[in-house]
A and B are shown apart, each in its own frame.
Chain A
Amino acid sequence: MGHDWLSLWSYLYGPLAIFLVGLYGLLTQKNLIKMAISINIMDFGVNLFIISLGYVPSGEAPIYTEAVRRYLPSFTDPLPQALVLTAIVISVAVTAFVLALIIKIHGRYGTTDLTKLGEMEL
C-alpha cells in the first residue's frame, strides 16, 4: 500500500511515537508523579492511534443532523470513537486512584522518589 510519509506519520507513527514517549518516561523516571504523567501520555498516544484507525479522509462526523439526513458511506467510523470514550473515562479513574496512592505513599515515607523508596527497603 502506498502512503506518503506525512500521512504515515499522522496515522500510525506519530501516535505510536507518543505512546513510546510515555513508555520511555515510565521506564526512566524516578518520580512517582512523573510516572503517573507518563501513564497519561501513553493513553494519549493510544487514543490518537485508535481514532486515527477510524478516520476516513473527507469523512463526516458520525451524527445525523438536518444537513445529513441519510446514511453516507463517507462517515468516519463511530466504533473507535465509542471505544476511546470508554478508554478516557477508565484512564481518568485509574489516574484518580494512582494519585491518591502517591499522596499516601508520600504521607507514609516522606518522599515520592523511587530510588529513595527503594533504599528504605520496605
Chain B
Amino acid sequence: MINPGLSSLFIFLVFLASLLAVETKKVFRAVLFMSLAGVLTSVIFVLWKAPDVAMTEAAIGAGFTTFLFLMALNRIKGKEK
C-alpha cells in the first residue's frame, strides 16, 4: 500500500514545476523546469505501478524531448549572434 500522501505530494511538485516552466521569463529555465516536471511525472508513474510508462516517460518524454528543446534553443541562439 502506497501512502496517498506521497503521490499527491509529487503531483503538487509537478504542478509547481509546470507553473514555473510556464511563468518564468527565461526560455532556457522554462525548458529545465519542463524537464524536471517530466522526470517527476515518471516518478509518479513508478508509484502508480506503471513501470513501462515510467520508462518511456523518462527516456522519451523527459530525455529526448529535453534534447530537442535544447537543440532548438541552441540553433535559435546561434542565429541571433
Contact = CB atoms under 8 A, between A and B. Distances in A.
Contacts of B56: 84-85, 88-89
A7 B68 CA distance: 35
- Counting contact residues on chain B (CB < 8 A from A), the size range is 35 or more
Interface residues of A, number: 56
B60 A29 contact: no
A24 B22 contact: yes
Interface of B: 1-2, 4-5, 7-8, 11-12, 14-15, 18-19, 21-22, 27, 30-31, 34, 37-38, 41, 44-45, 48-53, 56-57, 60-61, 64-65, 68-69, 71-73, 75-76, 79
A71 to B, nearest CB: 16
B69 A99 contact: yes
B73 to A, nearest CB: 7
A103 B22 contact: no
A10 B5 CA distance: 8
Nearest to B1: A58
